Amino acid sequence: MNKDTDYISAEQAGTLYGLFRERLSRSPDQIAYQSYSPETKDWVGTTWHEVGQHVARWQAALANEDLQPGDRVALNLRNCRDWVFFDQAAMGLGLVVVPLYPDDRPDNVAYILQDADVKCLLLHNTNQWKRLQPSLNDNHRLSRVIIQNRDDDTLDGTAVYLQDWLSTEPGTLRDWDADPHQLASIIYTSGTTGRPKGVMLSHHNMLSVAAGSLQYFDILPDDLFLSFLPLSHTLERTAGYYLPIMAGASVAYSRGIPQLADDIRLVRPTILIAVPRIFERIYTRLQAQLADKGMLSRLLFKANVNIGWAHFHYRQGRQRWRPGFLLLPLLNKLVAAKVLQRMGGRLRLAVSGGAPLPEQASRLFIGLGLNLLQGYGLTETSPVISVNEPDNNVPASVGRAIPGVAVKVGDNDELLARGPGNMLGYWNNHKATAQSIDAEGWLHTGDQARIDDSGHIFITGRIKDILVLSNGEKVPPADIENTIQSDETFEQAMVIGEGESYLSALLVLNSDKWFSLARELELDAMDNASLNNKKLQQYVIQKLRGLLHDFPAYAKIRRVSLTLEPWTIDNGLLTPTMKVKRPKVLEHHKDDIRKMYQS
């Protein structure tokens, strides 16, 4: 551990509220959070002392709501300081926090509120409240709804604007002597089938995972995280919220995905926690920009990535030194420095989790000198099971199990995990709990894996997402889909073929690229019939053949169905964590699928 670190151990913290109180005591004058102010058009810092004052006011207001320790309270906000104030104030009173996804559908939110028997709810604006109300019924026991942003609407007795609800008095922080193994939060997994299940996590669950992760890389007090993944996502909550408190680092809240590129450039973070889609989008944008450059620029870029990638393996002790490495300082100055400057120029660590990171994206960023680490975990494991280390980074893997976590491969090559981050169980669902955690305490991940001699874990498939063709060939579609989506032509992809003799694909075209592609093929971009044009279909199948040329023969796509209508949360085809609901998509496109297999 670096001597400059200021870590709070899980034992010193005790609980997540204890972690906050300990950081407040150690670093009262240090900047805890940065937020963009629309009024001043600048980023404004909040010290830990100021955070403590805010949390005390929130606690005073919550204490007036006749809530008892163990009662559930929920919040549906985009990432901001108020998320932290509510979370810490609630836990400091022994309440159980239920985070909701900001983009989730009202009927799904209503289900969670009823299932968890939520008494108090914090919302962003009155529009959220108006959309939610029709889905509420007599089984909901909401006694208080707090609206963060005031507008001209008059609220009923249950709902109140935040500024009217908060105490104007300074207030005093409460002391809450909780058991670290006590329930802290219920986080609903956005299942791709059926209703979401409430994952019960204790204070110790999340603290242990944050502490274990910090043993694999140093986070320093002068580090700055940029927070943009929803705090309702367990990866962001544990690694982008509690971990920085544990390490004494600061967090800046992005204004949102549309402003993310600007925020990265302005805030200049040193640490970035993201999902693969973010790196894929940057990768796709770079490829599009390169296509418009001259031959020399493309050659220099390719050389920088290839030599940088080889040099990375040399530094990892996996390759010999090459004379070409002498060119790297010049190439980095001409190419890599300009790309990394767009990411703020100070990024020293980036962690990707939540889904597989495509190999070509990983190779590009690492080749350009970004310290990019892939990790793995589940909401049910708080969430980190494994992560690569900077000096032991195998990009094709999801790293080694963090300290305290044991892993093994079970039946059907399923990855099993056992450690202090394993959930207490599913809320009100003993059957699902017993199916997920066996009698020996091993959590069944549902992912297939292999573990090499060094302990690195390689995810090889998903047990439930294997397509079995009529010839008995078993096809894992995820890698094929990720490769297709790496091409800027395609926004989304689903490979199908269960029980059939060949594979087909449902493809959502990138609407930004569709017009130029239609013009190239002399098609009418405004006519939906063009999507079924034989010339376009052949073009796409040929493109897929090129993209998938390194895959086994079974990966050949013989038929495609094209659409410009994306799969979204609003149309019920994506979960709030952006996972495709395969059964819903199959039902939505059943006519298209039938046509692909008619012959």
In DSSP terms, which residues pair with 74 in a beta bridge? 98, 121
Alpha helices in 401-510 (DSSP H): 430-436, 477-485
Secondary element (H or E) of residue 32: strand 31-37
CATH number of 10-273: 3.40.50.12780
Identify whether the C-beta of residue 281 lies closer than 8 Å to the C-beta of residue 488: no
Domain 274-462 bears CATH identifier 3.30.450.40: no
pLDDT at 59: 97
The bridge status of strand 31-37 relative to strand 250-253 is parallel
> Quick check: helix, strand or coil at residue 188?
strand
pLDDT at 465: 77
| pLDDT tens for the 599 residues of the chain, in order | 676 789 999 999 999 999 999 999 999 999 999 999 999 999 999 999 999 999 999 999 999 999 999 999 999 999 999 999 999 999 999 999 999 998 888 988 999 999 999 999 999 999 999 999 999 999 999 999 999 999 988 898 899 999 999 988 888 999 888 899 999 999 998 655 567 899 999 999 999 999 999 999 999 999 999 999 999 999 999 999 999 999 999 999 999 989 999 999 999 999 999 988 889 889 988 988 998 999 999 999 999 999 999 999 999 999 999 999 999 999 999 999 999 999 999 999 999 998 888 888 999 999 999 999 999 999 999 999 999 999 999 999 999 999 999 999 999 899 999 999 999 999 999 999 999 999 999 999 999 999 999 999 999 887 877 787 876 677 878 889 988 998 989 999 999 998 888 899 999 999 989 999 999 999 999 999 999 999 999 999 999 999 998 777 777 899 999 999 999 988 989 988 788 888 899 999 999 999 999 86
For 145, the token pair is 């709804």
Under CATH, what is the fold of the domain 466-596?
Answer: GMP Synthetase; Chain A, domain 3 (3.30.300)
DSSP string, 438-470: -TTS-EEEEEEEEE-TT--EEEEEEGGG-EE-T
As a whole number of Å, the CA-based R_g of the chain is 25
Identify whether the C-beta of residue 443 lies closer than 8 Å to the C-beta of residue 461: no
Tell me whether the CATH fold assigned to 10-273 matches the one assigned to 274-462.
Answer: yes
The bridge status of strand 400-401 relative to strand 406-409 is unpaired
Cα–Cα distance measured from residue 363 to residue 305, given in angstroms and rounded to the nearest whole number: 7
For 278, the token pair is 């973010």
Instruction: List the domain boundaries for the chain.
Output: 10-273, 274-462, 466-596
Cα–Cα distance measured from residue 574 to residue 584, given in angstroms and rounded to the nearest whole number: 9
Helices 81-91 and 48-63, packing angle to 10 deg: 60
pLDDT at 177: 80
pLDDT at 176: 83
Q: What letter represents residue 533's amino acid?
A: N
